[in-house]
Chains A and B, each alone.
Chain A
């Protein structure tokens, strides 16, 4: 079982977590053309490389971010969402 280190609860088996997928851009819906909007809806970050994604630690309901390599599955780091907000 892979380990994921929750910034609040420490290293845990990954089955304690729920993936919410890569962080998505949030274009202004009212300033986006139809075609761009549908592409935004259905596109998914899937590049081979490192993604920043949302995870939920289910027992504590804590949401945080992780940088993970989609090829090696290595988790580079995990951090509280405030970090992204403060240093986007």
Chain B
């Protein structure tokens, strides 16, 4: 066991042992351990195999960013072993292996690297046949690509979303973030501080710092009720207007902050040399995290590569953890020795300056680091910590509009944000020392507070940093390669150089051609090195090259947390329970549930037929509550409808009902309905179920433009509609107590009355889709069940049947009535429907008027007509079957169905305009390709004179 005693291991609870397995072998760890730390504690350093060459890989950063340490959980591919806590019985396996992690058959790929130069797949796998890629090569590559395996039987997990509002959001609870959050909260702002780690402190929690710094900040923080701390919560993106997703576990906090302070720290960068990917080579901060967070000794015998003070601190930490530090290698030229160096020397650590790690070698199969070569000589070791510099965590700042630059004087990557509600603090703003970071937090808080309108004391600007350039380790391609720039994608220095030779010289092209930065770590550990290599190879500056666009998310996030839980919207008419009680087959139509027919599915066809016959011979009842119902009020109501619809409404008498047809500005038919003029200044207008939302919005829009004295109210939910239809409809209504005279003379076709039926206030219109005597009763929805019951009871002696949508569709087809959206498309004109009668010739204006006149001049090409198929015909074309003329499609069947009244199939179809006449025969191509002929019918199939609806 590589475990260290307390106080090392701040995250683990040694009293709680947890057993889990990795690659089928049992392991044990403590509560609080991550998968990677528990495995490391047990000496298991190899966590995965690399993407292309299948090289053993292990801990690099302990931040969970890299593909190196992604593992497979039973229901979760690509889980970050460095961040995912272990749990009892958890089964963990390695990814991207062929065979076992120890013995990966694909490890041979490492030998064949030279057969696979960068972008090789663009230049081969094309033959021998044209489909060889699809049939042969791609399946192989697809199997080799990909990392984890998705569990298609994964159990459902609950995710949820909530909203969070604050004055100031501080991202990152390191010293700068803590200081900023405290300063903002102490000034009275409402502050949220989030950090992806389970504890606050950032580097203070694992670095070599005086513990009193963290405890001091921590106690100030706890005293602030207006400062909410969300640990274990990652801020995974920045979006317009400071809208930020904070993800904590299975919860997404959609957060709106007035001001944002990004204290996201810096990302320590790996060094590039041959075999720099061996398990046992890790960033200095990774070693520190293992020691302080998990109490894991990262090795026995270490070489420390240190180009700045943090390397020295790492070395001291390693000594404290009982690791033998063989040598500290400082590539900087010899200069004055600082106190840390003196301390190290005092502890007997050999320090070599002006040299660097040139290459590394592994144990058999490269399973672990065995030795490194420094200044030409080999040093045996099982741990190499790398502390050669870092890059500011640019992801969030860049999403917030920040620009990345490169300061040639200090050799540092810089970030500049435009003036606005986002501020930087700490290492991301290039502060170096602890005191600077804390001061920079205070300054960011002051800037945010002043934007919020707080009066704040202006803190003096940061003392200019020493202009001493940082040491930058040169990147030289190793002649034998395996000097990895991008661990995720197995890319070496020469791969990037070669891409530039092929002309991929812009950074985005380099990225696309080589895939650098496209893996799980999204360039965290490769972007800076890539910029350097491309700059060098193309003779430009690093600033000119830049880095690729930082897109959200900052780190990988599950689709589950983004999706959350979402009930599907459903709408029900007030009569839903009545339908269900009558055993209706309910189906969704848009968001609505509607009865299709009443009865068991086993006898659906029979039920539909009986419902149709009931309407044709007796009386039926249809719930039409889903129809749009709009009330137009005001002195200009008639004028308003005149402009919106094709018919004349301003002169429509009170008490009359008129068809209304709506066009768009292009002159295409977009909706229809009826308008019942209830009073001089009041119309009750119906719209089709699917279109009402748009029609209502359009009405409001036109009214906003026209500014007529009109109000539009959407009563779709407030009112319900019942259509009583059939030859016996009048008898049913007359059997009900009412103040309305339903007689033919008092209540003729296309008129309306309001009154009371069975104690229910109603608006009744004599209209009908079925072609039968019909009364459409509209009433306040809370009374619809009562009205339904009354009609059902009154209808019983007359054989009244409720009928559903299926019967309704056939009934209307028998009458040749169109359904908007089914029998019309985006370019249908009234002329194509033969609806000239519905278009006023007198009105000076209505929406679409100018366009249909122009389109009429340009010439009509098609017409919607009826088609009738012989009784007993063998092959009936389905909906959408093509109408051909000289072999070319000129139209299609829009509706087709079997008419029990006519005992044959009938259809509506677009035909060539020359075939629009009665008796013209057209050719239709059936689904099976067979051509059939059918005669054109230009009138209603059933009751051609439309006598029945007017009885």
Contacts and interface: CB of A to CB of B under 8 A. Distances in A.
Contact of A2 (B241, B701, B844): B241
A28 B592 CA distance: 41
Interface string B847-870: 001110010010000000000000
Which of B701, B844, B850, B851: most chain A Cβ within 10 A?
Answer: B850
Interface in B806-854: 844-845, 849-851, 854
Contacts of B844: 30
B569 to A, nearest CB: 14
B850 A29 contact: yes
Contacts of A81: 704, 707
Interface residues of B, number: 21
Interface string A48-71: 000000101000010100000000
B425 to A, nearest CB: 25
A2 B666 CA distance: 32
Nearest to B163: A13
B700 A63 contact: yes
B563 interface: no
B665 interface: yes
B243 A2 contact: yes
A2 B239 CA distance: 8
Given A18-B697, A56-B700, A56-B701, A85 B707 contact: yes
Interface in A1-54: 1-3, 18, 20, 26, 29-30, 32, 34, 37-38, 41, 54
Nearest to A61: B700
Nearest to A58: B697
B254 interface: yes
Contacts of A3: 241, 256
Contacts, number: 44
A81 B706 CA distance: 11
B701 A41 contact: no
B857 A34 contact: yes
Contacts of A26: 705
B570 interface: no
A17 B217 CA distance: 43
Contact of B851 (A37, A63, A73): A37
B464 to A, nearest CB: 33
B701 A54 contact: yes
A54 B704 contact: yes
Contact of A37 (B243, B701, B850): B850
Per DSSP, are chain A's interface residues mostly helix, strand or loop, or mixed?
Answer: mixed
A38 B240 contact: no
Interface string B661-691: 0000110000000000000000000000000
Interface residues of A, number: 20
A41 B857 contact: no
A38 B854 contact: yes
A34 B854 contact: yes
Interface string B383-426: 00000000000000000000000000000000000000000000
Given A29-B850, A30-B844, A63-B704, A56 B697 contact: yes
A29 B676 CA distance: 29
B245 to A, nearest CB: 10
A2 B850 contact: no
A57 B18 CA distance: 54
A54 B704 CA distance: 9
A76 B390 CA distance: 40
Given A54-B704, A61-B700, A63-B704, A32 B240 contact: no
Nearest to B698: A20
Interface string A64-88: 0000000001000000010001000
B708 to A, nearest CB: 13
Contacts of A61: 700
A2 B701 CA distance: 23
Interface in B755-792: none
A61 B698 CA distance: 11
A3 to B, nearest CB: 4
B476 to A, nearest CB: 43
Nearest to B854: A34
Chain A CB within 10 Å, residue with most, of B254, B666, B701, B845 = B701
A73 B854 CA distance: 37
A26 B707 CA distance: 14
A37 B851 CA distance: 8
Given A41-B666, A63-B701, A85-B707, A30 B241 contact: no
A6 B488 CA distance: 47
A18 B845 CA distance: 27
Contacts of A1: 239-241, 243, 254, 256
Contacts of B254: 1
Nearest to A21: B701
A41 B243 contact: no
A29 B697 contact: no
B849 to A, nearest CB: 7
Contacts of A37: 850-851, 854
Contacts of B850: 29-30, 32, 37
Contacts of A30: 844, 850
A79 to B, nearest CB: 13
Contacts of A34: 854, 857
Contacts of B849: 29
Interface in B98-125: none
Contacts of A73: 240
B851 A41 contact: yes
A2 B707 CA distance: 29
Nearest to B846: A29
Contacts of A41: 665-666, 851
A18 B696 CA distance: 13
A3 B241 CA distance: 6
Contacts of B666: 41
Contacts of B700: 56, 61, 63
B775 to A, nearest CB: 32
A23 B593 CA distance: 38
B650 to A, nearest CB: 18
A57 to B, nearest CB: 11
B801 to A, nearest CB: 39
Contacts of B243: 1-2
Contacts of A29: 845, 849-850
B516 to A, nearest CB: 30
Contacts of A2: 239-241, 243
Contacts of B851: 37-38, 41
A26 B254 CA distance: 41
Nearest to B704: A63
A24 B148 CA distance: 53
B241 to A, nearest CB: 4
A63 B706 CA distance: 12
A38 B697 CA distance: 24
A3 B697 CA distance: 21
A26 B666 CA distance: 14
Nearest to B239: A1
Nearest to B696: A61
B166 to A, nearest CB: 15
A30 B843 CA distance: 12
A69 B849 CA distance: 33
A40 to B, nearest CB: 9
A2 B708 CA distance: 32
Given A37-B850, A63-B700, 17 more contacts: A1-B241, A1-B243, A2-B243, A3-B241, A29-B845, A30-B850, A34-B854, A34-B857, A37-B851, A37-B854, A38-B854, A41-B666, A54-B704, A56-B697, A56-B700, A63-B704, A81-B704
21 contacts: A1-B243, A1-B256, A2-B239, A2-B243, A3-B241, A3-B256, A18-B697, A20-B701, A29-B845, A29-B849, A34-B854, A38-B851, A41-B851, A54-B704, A56-B697, A61-B700, A63-B700, A63-B701, A63-B704, A73-B240, A81-B707
Interface of A: 1-3, 18, 20, 26, 29-30, 32, 34, 37-38, 41, 54, 56, 61, 63, 73, 81, 85
Per CB-CB distance, the 4 closest pairs between chain A and chain B, nearest first, are: A29-B850, A63-B704, A3-B241, A1-B243
